[in-house]
Structure 1
Amino acid sequence: MEGARGSESGKDPQHTSLDPFQVKDPNKLAINFAYMLEEVGKVAGTWARAREDAEPDAPVSGPISDLLNTFLQVSEYWRADQTRAIEAQTRLVSTFLDIWTNSIKQLGGEDEENPVRFEPARGDKRFNDPDWERHPFFRFLKQVYLATAQWAEEMVEQPDNVDEELRQKARFYVRLVMDAVSPSNFLLTNPVVVRETLASNGENLVRGMRMLAEDLAAGRGQLRLRQTDATRFTVGKNIAATRGKVVARNDLAEIIQYEPLTPTVYKRPLLIVPPWINKFYVLDLSPERSFVRWALEHGHTVFVVSWVNPNESHAEHGWEDYASKGIDFALKTVEECTGERKANVVGYCIGGTLLTASLAAMAQEGDDRVASATFMASQVDFKYSGDLKHFATEQQIAALESAMQARGYLDGLTMANVFNMLRSRDLIWPYVVNNYMRGKEPMPFDLLYWNSDSTRMTPANHVYYLRTFYLNNDLAEGRATLRGKRLSLADIKLPVYLISAAEDHISPARSVFEGARLFGGPVEFVMGGSGHIAGIINPPHANKYEFRTGGVTGGETFEQWRATANVTPGSWWPHWQSWLAAQDEERVAARTLDPHKTYLGDAPGTYVLARD
């Protein structure tokens, strides 16, 4: 461990150089602090006005109450034995004292053979700046923080009287709290921010507070955290720009058919059912990352469901409506436009869950219009559904339901913030620091633009989804119903392709794997790299990640499957294409859109343009 020493010790003078941390122009710094306070006043005014004119919204007491209750339950183990609790506290205090002692010795130029040392986890970029090691003050803060975080994790892991579900929730909340209190998140304890503030005489803080005021105003009192430069993207021009037409519309969905890009196409058309949380163009980002365009280039006639961004008039639209006005309506449209009764269907995330329920009902009805089904990061068994499950307690669902019924919908920003919280270290705090403290505009990134283009949700559909799947796991356990039929996934005997993602925090790969056992027909289970979005939207030319393949048997665990699966570098898209072509390779002349026909509009349609 490098210590901080003065030039008189003969060591590198940079290690004690305080030049970057000295005020350069006190007058200019004072003026800019005054400007910053003016912007802070605007922030406070926006926040206060929003609360004065507040519409009904989900109370924050639900998650906070659950957090406190979770910590209280875990602490029972420590409170039950006073000696054990004192030993744990003493261990932490002793660690702090060791860190302090080593810091004093290193400041004085003494070498330590075995200093107390805590390192951030692999991939943690918060402490990459050299001053976290070079300067004693910041090194001390870093070590105290990492020691506390490790101690807090041990306090959750050690109790032997805690069930695994509670332990997982406690892990999540500990991580959430520790990410929030990191010294990298605060003005006076982040060396990068301190340096830049003094170097610019506080101009960074003026810019940052101005951005904060703008983002609060954009969120009508809630923080609409900017993660990308939104001015660089226009839906329908350089994102969601694949050419096509809106060929059908009802009050819940538009159906888009895209122009072919090959002279011949597969006889079976391809229908994509995206999630209604955010918008369909996650599958049609910039052209080089568009799954829709790639499928067209590989000979598919592609149709996509574009869900409406609901308002209070859609409040009573529930799961049955999304199935009938979404999937059934789309299948009828595909048949009318192509003359083909059978189609290959893709469901992504919650769209895949809806597709699964629809297929189970269709199987009982003798409806064979779906020839094969592909599920992208979609769960049907929610037993291991990841961190989002922690927000689906009965108490929190009831509070959310009350707020949604009062307004008529769930505000899209509320849901967006929940998803950001699942990865707050990556999706919240870096932007808080860079935007509002360093005053830096974020870089343009199509995926983050899509992520910020949030959608509202109807009370009937969203509450049903949370209770039926996350809370009760009714679909996997055979209690869910659709169109009056009790659903069994064993009735789905058509070929199924399941793609999961290794680091998915929304639809964990283990959860998708467990669901693979429930289908009654042949299942191709695949695990790609990265997370819920990047692991799915992984075009082959990027040459990123890897994917694993292998049959799923009845007795093996997910860990056993992962250890023995075949590993292939790169994107899973070509593997899926080969699998789908093997279902039926027959091709026909390309189905071009009639230039003389009057359609309902150009792709990407009108529903996708409605902002939250």
Structure 2
Amino acid sequence: MLLDETQRDSLDRLVRSSLAKLTLGISPASVMLIYFDWLSSLALSPGSQAHLMQKAVKKQLRLVQWTSHSAFNPEAAPCITPLPQDHRFRDPAWRYFPYNVLYQSFLLQQQWWYNATTGLRGLSPHHEQALEFGARQWLDVFSPSNYVLTNPVVLEKTLTTGGANLLRGMENWWEDAQNQWLGKKPAWIEDYVLGRDVAVTPGKVVYRNHLIELIQYAPTTKDIHAEPLLIVPAWIMKYYILDLSPNNSLVKYLVDKGHTVFMISWRNPTEEDRDLGMDDYRRQGILDSLDVINHLIPNQKVHTIGYCLGGTLLAITASAMARDGDDRLASLTLFAAQTDFREAGELMLFIDEKQLAFLEDLMWSQGVLDTKQMAGAFQILRSNDLVWSRIVNEYLLATRQPMNDLMAWNADATRMPYRMHSEYLRQLFLNNDFAEGRLRVGDRPVTLSDIQVPIFCVGTEWDHVAPWRSTYKLHLLSDAPEVTFLLTNGGHNAGIVSPPEHPRRHYRMATTREGDPYIDPETWLEKTPTQAGSWWPAWQEWLAERSRHQAPAPTIGSTDYPPLEDAPGSYVKQV
């Protein structure tokens, strides 16, 4: 019996999805193509081969010379210094023989492999970046910091405690392994209960549909700014990253400054939600929320704020609204949100046609991208910080890192529906349809240049998800009357969660107005002065300046939209 087209497709998908579960969603074919491209390019480049051989010999001679003159002098300048973000060898114990030779040899090896995997003529940029990233991940496995006998800090503690640290580390590993196998959260998560320790800013759920709950927060000032705020978090995260503990909550900060704040809390989808697409998130999420807010606070425009992919979806929605003559928005703020995905950072290393087809088949069989697969992808991007440093600290040194509200939030993962995840990966990451004018909302394409309200864009210096130079490209796409760009220190999450009391914070901020010449990101970085402190007050002042007047604080809900339950609501508690 011949298989029909549907049966053939289902069989192919079933085989690929089964393999994807074993490979954590990484396509073997895509990986093999990358390495074949590199090997073939290198094989046809005898000059490059000779250059790499010379590099290897020079580095070995350099190490030998340094060892003979400086290895026994801990005050001597190192042969090679780690990258600024590499903290593995900061302890003074690494300055003593033989550990200094071990880590210097490792860094030279790392540098040689960078030379070997980059700069080859004919190697595609995507393959080059993926290859360099892959080589870095493999080298990190063999770092001397990861092993007892080659890490002086671990070895000293082992000798001092008689190996007790390794026994306690094994207990830590066994506890984590059990939690992982049983699908349980770490025990310390119980110290951060939703509605008790985090997400505690008072408010009410005033609207609920299948996809969202809309929370309206209670005012804490007698008078408030007339224009309300709507915050759109990414659907790949729980909303309360912006409402952590009271001293770490952006929502509380805004409410205390006299703003009426509304927050979208996304449903955690299940397999039954597999056919929800980006347009469902746009309509049931942002547009339904705006309709409710316009009813509760009539005759006022709305300041909108989007975080990560929530910001991308908000920018798409704002573009469609501007195209259609809908002028309900007062301003648009984007937190670590990209609108052009051509330089979308190391996440792009996982995005090509073969990889997407492989990932789509995995989601097709499950209906959703589950929490473990998503968390694994983000851990790989920062393996030094999120994988290897944790192994060393918790399993070799047996020192559990003190937990905080942000870490508790990070452990509270979400899923993504099959259709929506496929659409945004293809239309945004792979094809860059929004930035290039091909993304259709309804029956027509949308473009960011239609938006004519003030825009505030926040980038973070160490963002692995939305690199700040990528978010900065908003300047090339926007025709808004003004675009204010702010760059803060920190990463994708810690850079955004930046309360005024937080130490060691700084930022840069500058506004470009209509008619001003374009400034490239490197020039902007050089010319824009650094300001000490949190960026929250600067942004809040920007909002206040674009709010028309003060008004009496509104009541929560109305006859048509009575409060349904206390914040944080039900959807955020779904597991």
| The two structures share one fold, judged by TM-score above 0.5 | yes
Q: What is the DSSP-based 3-state SS (H/G/I as helix, E as strand, rest coil) of the residue aligned with 2:319?
A: helix
CA distance in 1, matches of 2:394, 2:76: 39
Structure 1 residue corresponding to 2:306, chosen from 326, 347, 356: 347
Of residues 216, 220, 234 in structure 2, which corresponds to 1:261? 220
The offset of 1:382, in angstroms, is 0.8
1:572 Cα deviation (Å)? 2.1
Relative to structure 1, the CA distance from residue 56 to residue 160 in structure 2 (aligned partners, 3 Å threshold; closer, same or farther) is: closer
Show the counterpart of 1:200.
161
What corresponds to 2:151 in structure 1? Answer: 190
How far did residue 366 of structure 1 move?
Answer: 2.2
Residue in structure 2 matched with residue 525 of structure 1 by the alignment: 485
2:567 to 594, 598, 603: 603
Match of 1:585 in 2: 548
What amino acid is aligned across from residue 578 of structure 1 in structure 2?
E
List per-residue Cα deviations over 1:168-201 (Å, max 9, x = no partner). 3333333333333211122332222223333333
Asked if 1:475 corresponds to 2:434, the answer is yes
The SS at the match of 2:181 is: coil
Describe the SS at the equivalent of 2:565: coil
CA-to-aligned-CA distance 1:461-489 (integer Å, 9 cap, x gap): 11111100010000000110122221122
| Amino acid of the structure 2 residue aligned with 1:399 | F
Aligned equivalents of 1:421, 1:452: Cα separation in 2: 16
Which sits farther off after the overlay, 123-132 or 442-451?
123-132
Q: Counterpart amino acid of 1:361?
A: A
**Inter-partner Cα distance in structure 2 for 1:455 and 1:324:** 20
2:250 corresponds in structure 1 to 291
Q: Which residue of 2 aligns with 1:438?
A: 397
Shift of 1:363: 2.0
Alpha-carbon distance in structure 1 between the residues aligned to 2:234 and 2:276: 15
How far does the alpha carbon of each residue in 1:550-588 deviate from its partner, in whole angstroms, 9 at most, with x for none? Answer: 326454322222222344322222222222222233121
Contact 1:310 1:456 in 2 (8 A): yes
Task: Check conservation: 1:229, 1:441, Cα contact below 8 A.
Answer: no
SS in 2 for 1:118: coil
Q: Is the 8 A contact 2:199 2:568 kept in 1?
A: yes
Q: Partners in 1 of 2:77 and 2:398 — Cα distance?
A: 37
Instruction: Give 1:402 shift.
Output: 0.8
- Does structure 2 retain, via aligned residues, the 8 Å contact 1:434–1:440? yes
Contact persistence 1:550–1:565 (CA under 8 A): no
- AA at the equivalent of 1:540: P
CA shift at 1:306, angstroms?
0.3
Q: 2:269 aligns with which of 310, 317, 321?
A: 310
Q: 1 CA distance for matches of 2:231 and 2:464? A: 23
Which whole-Å CA distance do the structure 1 matches of 2:175 and 2:87 have between them? 27
Q: 1:58 to 1:239 in 2, by over 3 A?
A: farther
Find 2:233's aligned residue among 274, 296, 314.
Answer: 274
Q: Contact 1:503–1:532 at 8 Å: present in 2 too?
A: yes
Deviates most, 197-206 or 370-379: 197-206
Q: Match for 1:556: what amino acid?
A: I
Is 2:131 aligned against 1:167?
A: no
Contact in 1 for aligned 2:296/2:558 (Cα 8 Å): no
Q: Distance in 1 between matches of 2:420 and 2:568?
A: 24
SS in 2 for 1:416: helix
- In structure 1, the residue matched to 2:453 is 494
Paired residue for 1:366? Answer: 325
How far off is 1:493 after superposition?
1.4
Matching of residues 24-35 of structure 1 within 5 Å: none
Contact 2:475/2:518 (8 A) holds in 1: no
Q: CA deviation at 1:538?
A: 1.4
Residues 216-251 of structure 1, C-alpha deviation per residue, up to 9 Å, x if partnerless? 3333389x997x942431121111111111111111
Instruction: Provide the C-alpha distance between the structure 1 equivalents of 2:125 and 2:153, rounded to a whole number of angstroms.
Output: 39
Q: 1:239 to 1:208 in 2, by over 3 A?
A: same
Task: Trace 1:415-434 onto structure 2 (pairs within 5 A).
Answer: 415-434=374-393
Deviates more, 1:385-394 or 1:184-193: 184-193
- Note if contact 1:232-1:444 (Cα within 8 Å) is conserved in structure 2: no
CA distance in structure 2 between the aligned counterparts of 1:327 and 1:158, rounded to whole angstroms: 44
Which secondary structure does the structure 2 equivalent of 1:396 belong to? Answer: helix
Which segments of 5 or more consecutive residues in structure 2 lack a partner in the other structure?
1-17
Which residue in 2 is equivalent to 1:409?
Answer: 368
Does residue 128 (structure 1) correspond to residue 85 (structure 2)? The answer is no
Shift of 1:534: 2.2
| Distance in structure 2 (CA, Å) of the matches to 1:212 and 1:509 | 36
Paired with 2:52 and 2:87, the residues of 1 have a C-alpha distance of 29
Residues 271 and 82 from structure 1, CA distance in 2 versus in 1: closer, same or farther, beyond 3 angstroms?
same
Question: Match for residue 537 of structure 1?
Answer: 497
Provide, for residues 409-454 of structure 1, a one-character-per-residue CA deviation record: whole Å limited to 9, x for no partner: 1111211121121111112211111122222222112212211211
Cα distance in 1 for residues equivalent to 2:301 and 2:147? 57
Q: Which amino acid aligns with 2:160?
A: A
Tell me the CA shift for residue 116 of structure 1: 7.9
Contact 1:59–1:399 (8 Å) recurs in 2:
no
1:84/1:547 CA distance change after superposition, 3 Å: closer
Secondary structure of the structure 2 residue equivalent to 1:499: strand
The answer to whether the 8 Å contact 1:57/1:407 transfers is: no
The letter of the residue matching 2:156 is R
AA aligned to 1:444 is: M
Residue 141 of structure 2 corresponds to 180
Alignment: residue pair count: 553
Q: Give the partner amino acid of 2:252.
A: R
Q: 1:241 to 1:182 in 2, by over 3 A?
A: same
Over 3 Å counting, the alpha-carbon distance change for 1:598 and 1:158 in structure 2 is: closer
**What CA distance in whole angstroms lies between the structure 2 residues aligned with 1:450 and 1:375?**
21
Alignment of 1:118-157 (within 5 A): 118-136=80-98, 138-157=99-118
Structure 1-normalised TM-score?
0.83
Asked if the contact 2:229/2:304 (under 8 Å) is kept, the reply is yes
How is 1:14-33 mapped onto 2 (pairs within 5 angstroms)? Answer: none
Q: What amino acid does structure 1 have at the position aligned with 2:321?
A: M
CA distance in 2, matches of 1:83, 1:270: 60
Deviation at 1:83?
A: 5.7
C-alpha distance in 1, partners of 2:565/2:475? 39
Q: Is the 8 A contact 1:132 1:139 kept in 2?
A: yes
Give 1:390's aligned amino acid. Answer: L
8 Å contact from structure 2 (residues 201, 252) kept in 1 = yes
2:53 to 68, 81, 89: 89
Matched, 1:574 2:540: no
- TM-aligned CA deviation for residue 123 of structure 1: 4.4
Query: How many percent of aligned residue pairs carry the same amino acid?
Result: 36
Partner of 1:43: none
Give the AA of the match of 1:129. Answer: D
The letter of the residue matching 1:334 is I
Structure 1 unpaired stretches of 5+: 1-53
More displaced, 362-371 or 453-462?
362-371
| Equivalent residue letter for 1:173 | G
Q: Which is further off, 445-454 or 592-601?
A: 592-601
Rounded to whole Å, the distance in 2 between the matches of 1:267 and 1:495 is 17
Letter of the aligned partner of 1:525 in structure 2?
F
* Structure 2 residue 356 is the aligned partner of structure 1 residue 394: no
In 2: Cα distance, 1:491 partner to 1:70 partner: 39
Amino acid at match of 2:114: E
AA aligned to 1:494 is V
* 2-structure distance, mates of 1:56, 1:155: 29
Note the C-alpha offset of 1:58. Answer: 7.0
Higher Cα Rg, which structure:
1
Preserved contact between residue 246 and residue 256 of structure 1 (Cα < 8 Å)? yes
The 5-angstrom pairing of residues 98-137 of structure 1 reads 99=63, 103=67, 117-136=79-98
